[in-house]
Amino acid sequence: MNDNIADLVDSRTGRQSRSIYASEDIYRQELERIFGRCWLFLVHTSQIPKPGDYFRTFMGEDDVIVIRQKDGSIKAFLNSCTHRGNRICRADRGNARAFTCNYHGWSFSPDGALAGVPLESEAYFGELDRTKFGLIPVTKVAEYKGLVFGCWDANSPSLDDYLGDAKFFLDVWLDAMPGGSALLGETQKMVLGTNWKLPVENVCGDGYHLGWAHAGAMAAVQSMDLTGLSVGNSGVDLDGGLSVAGMNGHMVLSALDGVSGYAFYPDPKPILEYLEANRQTVIDRLGEVRGRQVWGAQVNITIFPNLQLLPGLNWFRVYHPKGPTQIEQWTWAMAENDMPEAVKAQILENQCLTFGLAGLFDNDDGDNLTACTEQSRGWRTAQMDVYTNMALGRSGKREGFPGDIASGLVSEHNQRYFYRRWQEHMMAETWAEVPTYNINSLTDEEAEHA
């Protein structure tokens, strides 16, 4: 299989074999080597604030339940009964003192312990060792500034090292203001007939599609400039933004104007006032570059493999794979806790309008991703390649930023790094074989002056 994987992607030329979007064998290997190995987003701490609060999610195709403990810590378990394997929790979220299985009535406490077994003394003759039948915990759970991740691989790097220099950009959302961040509203779930990599690729680097695929939505709601991108792909200002990659497989697109994140709000005024009122605070916390140029600008952050958050448009999303050609896409709105309530409400409203289930923009993407997947399933198309070869070899260091950086939001630089990372994981037998790299990492001194 490894020889084969080496052939499937060439990140120097930007080539991908279309089989990676439809093959069942490759998908099985992804579940093991990507979803079974990487740190995966589970929940935002704001979604389970109180002891007993729980949230159901997926790690790859494994159903997982994440629970706030009495001591405030967070644990995660397979949502599967240790008796005969039944699903234990069938709700999306809630608060519970115990989880009782429907099948024979075993019940588990929020810390995963097997707390009750019907007919324990009569039918098991008191011989069941309950301590051996607690819920199966997710191997590692860790938090970075409100984002809770889980990982199945005991040999993975720490979450901190895994995120690497992507934290430089994550902090622009998670730590710009002292109050931190929160996710808003219920989960917006949609099933799409696409391979999971295509939506990740689309958001991690593809500014190219914006002016074309979303022309109708842009015409409807755009109120400010975003790096010159325009309806019908008739213009672009490559100096206005950055495509940042080479950070352990994480990627960022960032405009540099400090306001364009809110370009797709019909009425951005209240948010612009919030930005200006707090600009100095953020500069004091994060420095000039991030405080003035990045905070408030449109930023697309991708945490490998399946988490994307977009400060500005303010949506936060994970893609759960459901076979090689299907996903569930889960979206929330996100806000800074220091925002006035009216601004938070406007953000939730506008996220639903633009990237919700009837989102003016989001409704443009699904059919394209689905069709790219379908066109990889034919006898002939499965043998063919596709390319992300725009602006090859035009990247380097940029003053004040970590990463290998190409100019502009329109480039296929980030996609090439995404597929490179995918290949690195797929070829590695263990974590030890997966390379770590944070290209052009800022020195402490640079970071201080940034």
Partner 1 sequence: MLDRPLAPPPVEVIVAVTQALHREARLLDNEDLDGWLAMLGKDVSYRLELKSRRFRADRSPPLPLGPGVIFNEDLGRLKMRVDRLKSGFVWAEDPPNYIRRAVSNVEVLANQADNEVRVHSVLVMHRNRIDGTTRLLTAGRTDRWRSEGSCWLLASRDIVLDHSVMPDSNLNAFF
Active site residues: 104, 206, 209, 214, 365
Q: Closer CB to partner 1, residue 55 or residue 169? A: 55
* Minimum distance of Fe ion from residue 217's CB (angstroms): 9
324 touches, from Fe ion, partner 1, ligand FES, none (C-beta below 5 to 8 Å by class): none
- CB of residue 69 to ligand FES, shortest distance in Å: 22
Residue type, 313: L
Judged by CB under 8 A, the residue of 12, 28, 84, 90 near partner 1 is 90
Q: Which of 360, 372, 390, 442 binds partner 1 (CB under 8 A)?
A: 360
What is Dmax (Cα atoms) for the chain? 77
**Which contacts of 211-219 are long-range, i.e. CB under 8 A and separated by 24 or more positions?**
211/235, 211/236, 213/364, 213/365, 213/368, 214/361, 214/364, 216/360, 216/364, 217/264, 217/354, 217/360, 217/361, 217/364, 218/264
If you search the block for the tokens 């390319």, which residue do you land on? Answer: 387
Using CB under 8 A as the binding rule, the residues of this chain from 307 to 346 that contact partner 1 are 328, 333, 341, 344-345
Q: In angstroms, rounded to a whole number, what is the distance separating the alpha carbons of residues 240 and 354?
A: 23
Burial 91-107 (b: 16+ CB within 10 A, else e): eebeebeebbbeeeebb
Q: Please choose, out of 96-104, 230-238, 253-261, 359-367, the segment that lies near Fe ion by the rule CB under 5 A.
A: 359-367
Q: Which does 143 bind (CB under 5 to 8 A by kind): partner 1, Fe ion, ligand FES, none?
A: none
Q: Could you say which of ligand FES, partner 1, Fe ion, none residue 191 binds, taking C-beta under 5 to 8 angstroms by partner kind?
A: partner 1
Q: How far apart are CA 175 and CA 167, in angstroms?
A: 10
Pick one of ligand FES, partner 1, Fe ion, none as the site partner of residue 283 (Cβ within 5 to 8 A by kind).
none
In the window 209-228, what residues touch partner 1 (CB under 8 A)? 213, 215-217, 219-221
Q: Could you give phi then psi for residue 141, rounded to 5 degrees? A: -130, 130
Chain residues 105-164 in contact with partner 1, contact rule CB under 8 A: none
Instruction: Give the Cα separation of 70 and 83 in Å (integer).
Output: 25
Q: How far is the CB of 321 from partner 1 (least distance, A)?
A: 14
Query: Which positions from 167 through 196 interact with partner 1, judged by CB under 8 A?
Result: 182, 184-193
Applying CB under 5 A, among 10, 30, 257, 365 the residue interacting with Fe ion is: 365
CB closer to partner 1, 91 vs 447: 91
> Binders of Fe ion among 201-230, rule CB under 5 A?
none
Peptide bond into 118 cis (omega under 30): no
Q: Is 22 in the site for partner 1 (CB under 8 A)?
A: no
103 touches, from partner 1, Fe ion, ligand FES, none (C-beta below 5 to 8 Å by class): ligand FES
C-alpha span between 351 and 386 (Å, rounded) = 32
Comparing C-alpha atoms, which of 162, 142, 251 is closest to residue 434? Answer: 162
Name the nearest CA neighbour of 142 among 86, 66, 223: 66
CA distance linking residue 317 with residue 265, whole number of Å: 19
Sign of CA dihedral 209, 210, 211, 214: positive
Identified binder of partner 1 from the candidate list 362, 404, 412, 424, rule CB under 8 A: 362
Tokens of 293: 């140029």
**174 vs 183, beta carbon nearer partner 1:** 183
Minimum separation from the CB atom of position 370 to partner 1 (A): 6
Q: Pick one of 24, 32, 92, 433: the residue that binds partner 1 (CB under 8 A).
A: 92
Kindly tell me which residue out of 143, 374, 385, 446 binds partner 1, with binding defined by CB under 8 A: 374
- CB closer to Fe ion out of 64 and 263: 263
Residues that bind ligand FES (CB under 6 A): 81, 83-84, 86, 101, 103-106
Q: Does 72 bind partner 1 (CB under 8 A)?
A: no
Binding site partner of 69, from ligand FES, partner 1, Fe ion, none, Cβ cut-off 5-8 A by kind: none
Q: Which parts of this chain interact with Fe ion (CB under 5 A)?
A: 365
Q: Which parts of this chain interact with partner 1 (CB under 8 A)?
A: 50, 53, 90-96, 182, 184-193, 213, 215-217, 219-221, 231-232, 266, 328, 333, 341, 344-345, 348-349, 351-353, 356-358, 360, 362-368, 370-371, 374
